Amino acid sequence: MAMGDDFPPEVPAYLNVYFAVPDCDAAVAKATERGGVLRFGPMDSPFGRFAALSDPQGASFTVIDVSKTEGEMPATSPA
């Protein structure tokens, strides 16, 4: 997928780690119970049910349950 105009050159690099989990909602509950902060979600997507969180030190991560998909996959442009 193309980055497009939403990501101009001055946007800094960003890394996000995804953890595959068997139950997104349960993983969010456990993470927030242990001090994590829910940033958005959980939400359904063609890739799975996912949520973005951060740990108590501010490191971002995402949990995703790939068995729960909803919607069509986005079209990709030819390389």
Q: Is 57 exposed, middle or buried (0-12, 13-18, 19+ CB in 10 A)?
A: exposed
Q: Is-contact 28 41, C-beta < 8 A?
A: yes
Name the residue range of residue 42's domain: 36-71
Q: What pLDDT was estimated at residue 31?
A: 97
DSSP class per residue in 18-64: EEE-S-HHHHHHHHHHTT-EEEEEEEEETTEEEEEEE-TT--EEEEE
- The answer to whether position 5 is within a domain reads no
Q: What pLDDT was estimated at residue 41?
A: 93
* Count of domains observed in the chain: 1
- The answer to whether position 30 is within a domain reads no
Q: What pLDDT was estimated at residue 78?
A: 67
- The answer to whether position 51 is within a domain reads yes
- The answer to whether position 24 is within a domain reads no
2 closest CA partner among 70, 75, 69: 75
Q: Write out the chain's pLDDT in tens, 79 residues.
A: 566 777 787 877 778 899 999 999 999 999 999 999 999 999 999 999 999 999 999 899 999 999 988 888 777 776 5
